[in-house]
Each structure stands twice: as C-alpha cells, then as structure tokens.
Amino acid sequence: MDRLTISPEPRPIGTSSLRVFPVAYGCWRFAGTSVAAAREKIESALEVGIQLFDHADVYGGGAAETLFGQVLREAPHLRSRMLIATKCGVVPGIPYNATRAHILRSAEESLRRLNCDVIDLFFVHRPDVLTHPEETARALDELRQAGKVREVGVSNYTPSQCAALQRFLPFPLVAHQREWSCVWPAVFTDGTVEQCYTARLSLIAWSPLAGGKLLLPLERAAQDKNASVLVPTIQKLEALAHSQGVDRAAVALAFLLAHPVNAIPIIGTQRVDRIRRVLLAFRVEFDRAGWYALFQAGRGKQLP
C-alpha cells in the first residue's frame, strides 16, 4: 500500500547519540507569564512525550531562557527528562555576530539564564557573512571541548554556508534548523533536504503551522498577502482533518512528519490544550496522492 508512516518513535539528531520525540517545543513566544504558567507548559509538553525544547538567546530579549531557568530552579528534576537547544549570533540592531568572542559570551549567558550546566544542542541562529566560518568553528569547538555544549547545528543557513562551516569543524554538525510548513516549502528547492540526507543532518522545522496562519479562518486567510497559496492549502487541511476526525494543526504536522527526511517540527503554541493535542498528528493517515495534493497546494502550482 502507499500509506505513509507517521511514527511517534524517537528520531535521531544527526549522527549524535541524541534521540528525541518527533515534535519539539519552541520557546520563542514563551516569555511574559508567571513561573507557574511556564511550568505548566513545560510539564504538559513533557507529558505528551516532547523532549527537545528550543530557545535562543534573543527570545524575549533573554526573558524566555530566564523564565525557563526559573522553572528548572523550582523543579530541577525536570532537567533530566529534556534536551535543551539554544542559539547564538542574532544581535538586534547589528544584526548578526558569529565571532568567537560573541559566541563564547552568548553561550555562557544562556547557560546562566537557563540555570543549567550544558546546552544539549547549540545553533548558530543565522549566517553572519562578516565572520569567517573558521572563526565561528573555533568557538563552537572550544565550547564543545569544554563540555558546555554537546552537539552543534546551524539555523537558516544555506546548504553551502553549512558545508563551509563544516569544513572547519573537527566534529559533524547534527542539525539544520529551517522554516518549513505546508506553505513554506523552500527546503525542497534550495538543497536543504538533500543535504540532510547526504550529511545525515536532522531537519528541525520552525513555524510548522506557518506561525498560526494555517489555522486562520478562511475569510481571514483570504486577506493574507499569500492568500492564493494559503486558502487552497487550508481547504485541503480542513477536508483531511474533517474526514479523519482530527484538527488542521494535526494534519499540518503530520504532513511534515510523514516525509522521509525524518524532520522534527517545533511547535510554538502557548496554550496547554493545544500542546496536548500534538498527539493527534500521529493518528493522521496520508497516502502519496494526499501528501502530494497538499504539497502542490502549498507550492502554489502543480508539479509537471
């Protein structure tokens, strides 16, 4: 049969020994609540099986990491159930800095805010074209040698930028973090998916629900600047969700999870009920025709 597999089995992170539940939880929108509310979100994510929590030094200007660290101070036993990812290199107003000095300082500050000893997965957030990759690599290697980061990945790099950094690293990069959703298929046209296959990098997909746009009511989607793609995609998601007794978010996540690149989408909801509904994604059934129909809707034109 041509049914695609959507398994909740843990997925490896690159060639590392790390394996995680196939969906991660993102902390971009995490700051600004009480410690109790933050703890409830973290615990809900852990309860559904989520292990990887994605941060960046700039989320909430550092407040997301600080709040997360406050939860870990209050409930240190949670740390052993999770893997923490964070990122460095975006500096509002500059906008990027991947120099050795900046990376070393950023990692130290993230560790302090997160209230932990090691960052499990450390990303360079965006390519800094003004820094030689050899310098960036030196900083990442020093952090790894010092036991401050376990594994390293890149975020929003092109495949050739990723290959250039890898050329100067004495260990393999393990992850590519890129925007990917039904309506944002760039990873298929710029060589990212192929690089993930050949270099055995994990594709960590940010904004898998297009930042919430895939859940808009149709009349609001029709006013979006990307309406010509968004509306037909939402209609397809809705039809599949309706026929399978799940919700649109579940189908949108399942679309990513069913692809053989073995991606790990990072969900960004701040609502505990929506975190719990993540498991619905594993109930979705896709066959080749259904998957390709959604793929074509999201790219805005039929395949030849």
Binding site for ligand NAP (CB under 6 A): 26-29, 54, 125, 155-156, 177, 206-212, 215, 249, 266-271, 274
Of 131 and 156, which has the nearer Cβ to ligand NAP? 156
CA dihedral sign of residues 12, 13, 14, 16: negative
Nearest to 252 by CA among 223, 219, 221, 278: 278
Contact 38, 25 (CB under 8 A): no
Q: Minimum distance between the CB of residue 184 and ligand NAP, rounded to whole angstroms?
A: 10
Measured between alpha carbons, how far is residue 295 from residues 22, 194, 252, 291 in Å? 20, 17, 11, 6
Of 251 and 258, which has the nearer Cβ to ligand NAP? 251
Q: Minimum distance between the CB of residue 246 and ligand NAP, rounded to whole angstroms?
A: 11
C-alpha–C-alpha distance, residues 253 and 140, integer Å = 32
Bond into 133 cis (ω within 30)? no
Tokens 């060639």 locate to 15
Residue nearest to ligand NAP (CB): 268
DSSP output for 191-220? SHHHHHHHTT-EEEEESTTGGGGGGS-HHH
Alpha carbons within 13 A on the beta-carbon side of 283: 15
Q: What contacts 238, CB < 8 A, 6 or more positions away?
A: 248
Of 95 and 212, which has the nearer Cβ to ligand NAP? 212
Of 70 and 270, which has the nearer Cβ to ligand NAP? 270
Of 64 and 139, which has the nearer Cβ to ligand NAP? 64
Q: Minimum distance between the CB of residue 228 and ligand NAP, rounded to whole angstroms?
A: 20
Of 134 and 136, which has the nearer Cβ to ligand NAP? 136
* Catalytic-residue membership of 25: no
Q: Minimum distance between the CB of residue 145 and ligand NAP, rounded to whole angstroms?
A: 25
Catalytic residue among 25, 59, 197, 292: 59
Q: Minimum distance between the CB of residue 238 and ligand NAP, rounded to whole angstroms?
A: 12
C-alpha–C-alpha distance, residues 118 and 58, integer Å = 18
Q: Give 76's DSSP letter.
A: G
Angle, CA of 110, 112 and 116, to the nearest 5°: 90
C-alpha–C-alpha distance, residues 208 and 252, integer Å = 7
Q: Minimum distance between the CB of residue 96 and ligand NAP, rounded to whole angstroms?
A: 12
Q: Give 276's DSSP letter.
A: H
Residues serving a catalytic function are 59
